[in-house]
Amino acid sequence: MGINFRTETFRDDFTFKNSPEHVRRFPFPFHEDSYMYAVNIEPHAAGPKGSVLEHPIDVDEHYVSEMRDKTMVLAEDPLRCQSLPHMTLAGWDLLELLMTAKAEGYPEHFSLTRDGDKWHWVNRPLGIDDRFTFGDVSALPYGPMEYITRQAQGDFCLLDQRYGNLWMDAGIVTTQADWSLDFDIGMNFFEWHAPVPLAHEKGIFVRALKFLTNIQQGRPARRLNWTITINPRLDTSPENYHKWGPDRATVTPDNVGKKVHLRVELQSFWRLPRSNGLVFPIRCYLISLDELVTSPKWARRLHRVIRDLPEEIASYKGLTRYRATVVDWLAKYDDGSSTSAGFGPE
């Protein structure tokens, strides 16, 4: 059976769209009609069949097109992928994690055969068939982290755990919501979160760090994060702000449904066995408001969340210029009736 991979773009003509099934499986992040930062971390346990949480690493219909976009981003700006010298072992840990997860979850698309340290990896959607010795960097066209993350949706941060803190010492970041790996590389958990408003005073990062440094092998955790993006652009990086920043001024009452996208990050946290570090995958999902309002519950809830969002959070998430226009557009779908608890579309 397998996945029907779409051919679409995340730049220029923006032909990205979700199929109806992918609209329904979208990881809507609001379980109530308002939003505030919280330590919303939970065990990364398997979710319902067909959902984005069914498999520990999710592959969807956008896979092939996202990998094409990622290749372009890296060609334009190689500094999006960096690994400090001591992080190569963590890169091998990540390679093992992603290859085994993809092969187990999607055997029709990915195969991994291992004979001791002689590995054979087949990625059918991308036409890759490679044999290599695990641990031997000379056998692959890139370092292990770059090799496997060029074949995986989303961003990946490899965190070294030292002295009770986490350090962003390697990563590949091409689908980010406006932060820079080149700027943050080498920073610790508090430093790279410095710009986030309100959360520091609430003690959120102290508690989150305590939890994360105690994550053990075999017990990954996850949380959701969200923002709004104008046009289905994956690469909303500070480095390319001149390309996408002006889009924020192009929102009109007529084009909200087509241009404005809810952008949700499914973040997970995994202990890496050989390096004792953590990997932090950040998987990005996009949905246009036209697609989103096909669920009346989501439409009402999103209206209320954006309308009532504290100013500091709205400003930090970049919503200021078009917030009023979006709220007015969503108001058409909000008849004031109550919304059910939980994240689902019903």
Partner 1 sequence: MSTGATKLDVTVTRVTEVNALIKRFHFERSEGGLLPTFSGGAHVVVEMRDGDAARLNPYSLMSSPLETRDYTISVRRDDVGRGGSLFMHGRVKPGDRMVVSYPVNLFSLDLRARKHLMLAGGIGITPFLAQTSQLAGEGGNFELHYSARTASLAAYADDLRSRYGRRVTVYHDDLDERIPLERLLASQPLGTHLYVCGPAGMIQWARETAAALGWPAETVHYEHFAAPKPGLPFDVTLALSGRAIRVGEQQSLLEAIEAAGVDPPYLCRGGVCGQCETNVISSDGKFLHNDHWLSEDQHRAGTKIMPCVSRFEGRSLVLER
Binding part of the chain for partner 1, among 81-89, 196-204, 235-243, 253-261 by CB under 8 A, reads: 81-89
Verify binding: residue 275, partner 1, rule CB under 8 A.
yes
Residue 43, interface with partner 1 (CB under 8 A)? yes
Q: Nearer to partner 1 by C-beta: 260 or 272?
A: 272
Please tell me the distance from the alpha carbon of residue 177 to that of residue 213, in angstroms, as a whole number. 24
Cβ-count burial 295-331 (b if 16+ within 10 Å, e if not): bebbbbbbbbbbbebeeebeebbbbeebbebbbebbe
273 binds partner 1 (CB under 8 A): yes
Residue closer to partner 1 by CB (options 87, 234) is 87
Q: Is 162 a catalytic residue?
A: no
Instruction: Figure out which of the listed residues 123, 149, 161, 174 binds partner 1, where binding follows CB under 8 A.
Output: 161
Nearest CA-CA partner of 156 in 269, 294, 4: 269
Asked if 127 is part of the footprint of partner 1 (rule: CB under 8 A), the reply reads no
Stretch that binds partner 1, among 150-158, 252-260, 268-276, 320-328 (CB under 8 A): 268-276
CA 149 – CA 220 distance, rounded (Å):
19
Report the b/e string of 3-31 with b at 16+ CB within 10 A. Answer: eebbebbbbeebebbbeeebbbbbbbbbe
Site for partner 1 contains 214 (CB under 8 A): yes
* Strand-pair category, 260-271 with 118-123: unpaired
336 belongs to the binding site for partner 1 (CB under 8 A): no
Q: How many residues bind partner 1 (CB under 8 A)?
A: 20
CB 134 within 8 A of CB 92: yes
Candidates 219, 308, 332, 340; binder of partner 1 (CB under 8 A) is 219
The pair of structure tokens assigned to 165 is 């803190």
- Which of residues 20, 141, 218, 336 is near partner 1 by CB under 8 A? 218
Would you say 109 and 2 are in contact if contact means Cβ atoms under 8 Å apart?
A: yes
Q: Among 2, 86, 203, 342, which residue interacts with partner 1 (rule: CB under 8 A)?
A: 86
Q: Does 163 help bind partner 1 (rule: CB under 8 A)?
A: yes
Question: At residue 272, what are phi and psi to the nearest 5 degrees?
Answer: -100, 130
Check 11, 24, 223, 307 and give the catalytic one. Answer: 223
Is 243 a binding residue for partner 1 by CB under 8 A? The answer is no
How far apart are the C-alpha atoms of 89 and 91, rounded to whole Å?
5
Among 160, 235, 239, 265, contact with partner 1 (rule: CB under 8 A): 160
Minimum distance, C-beta of residue 163 to partner 1, in the bound complex (Å)? 5
Strand 165-172, strand 81-83: pairing:
antiparallel
Which residues form the catalytic set?
Answer: 223
Contacts to partner 1 by CB under 8 A: 43, 84-87, 89, 135, 160-163, 214, 216-219, 273-276
